[in-house]
Structure 1
Amino acid sequence: MSVVVVTYNSEKTIEETLSSLARQTYPTDSYELIVVDGGSTDDTEAIVEEYDAAFHVVDGGTIGACRNHGIDVSSGEYIAFTDSDCAVPATWLDSHVERIESPNDDIEGQDDVTIAGVGGPNRPFPTDPWFSKLVGSLQGTVFGSGGSPQSYAIGEVRLVRSVAACNVMYDAAIFDSHRYDDAVNVGEDAEFHFRLSEAGYRFVFDPAIAVSHHLSSTFGAYCKKSRSYGYAMARIQRRHGKVIRWYSALPSLALGGGMLAVLADLAARKARYVPLLLAAFLLVSGYGTAQVYRDRRSPTALLVPIMLAAQYTYYGIGFLEGLAAPDPVSQDLP
């Protein structure tokens, strides 16, 4: 068994990650811990040295390149990944191994695919700021996550096409013929898992195997991350020349549609289309607000319409920037 943690300038969070991995119920002598660093300039390495972990540096490496290096130096039959801003429960490895070796016979479609691995959701830390928890609750709604299983509150074990790389265990055999793309940074797991799904692989998603994950703690960070996700998804889809996630272009289309609606109403000097769009948004955001309030039981749920508007706007802008970028593979979000 190999556990790989990819990191970059994570001195504030990586100790939580390594400490949680050191407390596993899985036998200590049965797994190796590997930290792959993209070239940190802070005290990340000094913190890692306090733990029984192999430390490797891929200076200037993308997340995809760092994950591949971790795979290259791993020796386990299974390879698990989590990130340096996460903490895993004590039963994390045991739960993954049990699920990957004994998937439910009742999972629909299991006999028709090859299982690449097992994954689960990621949730905010209990000690995180209220805004991070609000982001986590919003991502637990279909409009906040687009239905991605790693965030959206799926309550049953089932097959999915992709899981988050901060909470996944692979059968190492798949890496004999499939790897992450060294050129892809943000969205490297979505790109890799898309190729796996095209090759007939699926993941078993188990909602009970959750990790704690530090989510955006400020509104500015939330907007920036939304933009980077949109940018990355456009680059990936340009590269493959096909739609990876059908909903990825919707925010950009909504932005364009909104601008056209405003221009049409101004030209006609009559409010016809804009009120309809506003009514549709209020319906969507109202549903999301109700879901978040049911989860949080807090008046902060009233911020959901603003957060959704910001998320869709920044994701849509990032997506358009990704489509317009001259190099969809190597250029980073400015």
Structure 2
Amino acid sequence: MTDRKPFLSVIIPHLNQPEGLDACLTSLDAQNFERARFEVIVVDNGSACLPQGVIASHSACLLEEPKAGPGLARNRGVEAATGEILCFIDADCRAHPNWLRVASEIISMPERVVLGGDVQIWRDDQSRFTSLEAYESLFAYMQKRYIEKNGFSGTGNLVVRRIDIMRVGPFKGIEVAEDMDWGSRAIAAGLRFRYEPDLIIYHPARRTMAELFAKWDRHLQHYLNKAKEKPLWRIFWAARAVGVFLSPVAELGKILTSPKISGLSTRFQAASVLVAIRSYRAWKMLQLLGPHKTIIWNSSAVVDRNAGNRPA
């Protein structure tokens, strides 16, 4: 393990989340890593009001990307970054105090290794779970599975060398699931993803079911775009919808035994939200077999508080 401390660039796409951004930047101010060894770049992606007041309270640079999409905002940050290691986090997340220290250790690994870290649910009240906190603690941001089984990391907690991101190319726009797309191109370019459990960020649970539904509207549109590339896609898509509807049965063991939540009432709440979300997904998938509208990432009607990460 080398003792050399590399220079890091933290890149944060932002859209209409000034309070979350303030919490994110505060967590970066509290890092157990020499402040002179990293820069923070916030890229606004069309907010109603630029977060200039938030930026003024922290040591960060504010840029703008007018074209819609968190991937495009990240690209703008990459263009401006001066670090040899690029660290991506979303605006409404908080970084563990050791996040950048762990990220810096990528310099001791072989080239073409990309780190994806753990994403945990942030709770202001540690004494109880809301129903959405219980559900998302179990079924959201399963980074280990994404990396080890699906071959990509959510871009809300991603660390990559500059030289490696140049090998792969920029993130794409809202027409695709940009984390999955970039991950597949990274694998094709000879990179490999490594899950790092000590690379931790915290994400608040969604506040309403409407936010979860809006997230799934956007993700299902991405999956549909991909499915249409294959023959007989309608048959497979309909079969997958049925599987999604029936899938809560297979999750019962996880709900009853996972140490991430506790208490019978909390587990019942998690199960109730799971059934509601999977039922909505199945209904929406069947609905999308007919005429549909494209989901826009930075439309106020469907904005997702964490556009970079994959759901369960």
The TM-score range, normalised by the shorter chain, is: 0.7 to 0.9
1:122 touches 1:211 (CA, 8 Å); kept in 2?
Answer: yes
* Cα pair 2:131 2:270 within 8 Å, conserved: no
Paired residue secondary structure (2:215)? helix
Structure 1 letter corresponding to 2:119:
N
1:161 Cα deviation from its structure 2 partner: 1.9
2:250 aligns with 287
Q: Tell me which residue corresponds to 1:101.
A: 107
Does residue 9 of structure 1 match 2:16? yes
Q: How many residue pairs were aligned?
A: 280
Per chain length, whose mean CA-contact separation is higher, i.e. which structure has more relative contact order (CA < 8 Å, sep 6+)? 2
* % same residue: 18
Output aligned runs, 1:143-158, within 5 Å. 150-151=141-142
Distance in 2, matches of 1:177 and 1:301, equals 41
Q: CA deviation at 1:202?
A: 1.3
CA distance change for structure 1 residues 160 and 204 in 2, over 3 Å: closer, same or farther? Answer: farther
- Deviation of 1:329 after TM superposition, in Å, equals 11
Structure 2 vs 1, CA of residues 43 and 14 (structure 1 numbering), >3 Å: closer, same or farther? same
User: Structure 2: how far apart are the matches of 1:215 and 1:252?
Assistant: 30
- What SS does structure 2 have at the residue aligned with 1:41? coil
The 1:79/1:293 distance shift into structure 2, 3 A limit, reads same
TM-score norm. by structure 2 comes to 0.77
2:239 maps to amino acid: L
Runs of 5+ consecutive residues of structure 2 not aligned to the other structure = 1-7, 303-312
Provide TM-score, normalisation by structure 1: 0.72
What amino acid is the match of 1:41?
A: A
Q: 1:221 aligns with which of 196, 211, 220?
A: 211
Contact 2:221 2:294 in 1 (8 A): no
Other structure's SS at 1:124 match: strand
Instruction: Report the residue type matching 2:60 in the other structure.
Output: A
Q: 1:153 to 1:75 in 2, by over 3 A?
A: closer
Asked if 2 retains the 8 angstrom alpha-carbon contact of 1:121 and 1:164, the reply is no
1:68 corresponds in structure 2 to 75
Alignment root-mean-square deviation, CA: 3.5
**Which of 272, 275, 285 is the equivalent residue of 1:305?**
275
SS for the counterpart of 1:93 is helix
Q: What are the superposed Cα offsets for residues 215-270 of structure 1, whole Å, 9 maximum, x if unpaired?
A: 322122212211210102233565xx469xxxxx9664244xx6xxxxxxxxxxxx
Cα drift, residue 115 of structure 1: 2.8
Q: Secondary structure of the equivalent of 2:279?
A: helix
Q: Distance in 2 between matches of 1:319 and 1:115?
A: 38
Larger Rg: 1
- Per the alignment, residue 87 of structure 2 pairs with 80
Q: Per the alignment, in what secondary structure is the counterpart of residue 184 of structure 1?
A: coil
Secondary structure in 1 matching 2:82: coil
CA distance in 1, matches of 2:133, 2:70: 25
Q: Secondary structure of the residue that 2:135 maps to in structure 1?
A: helix
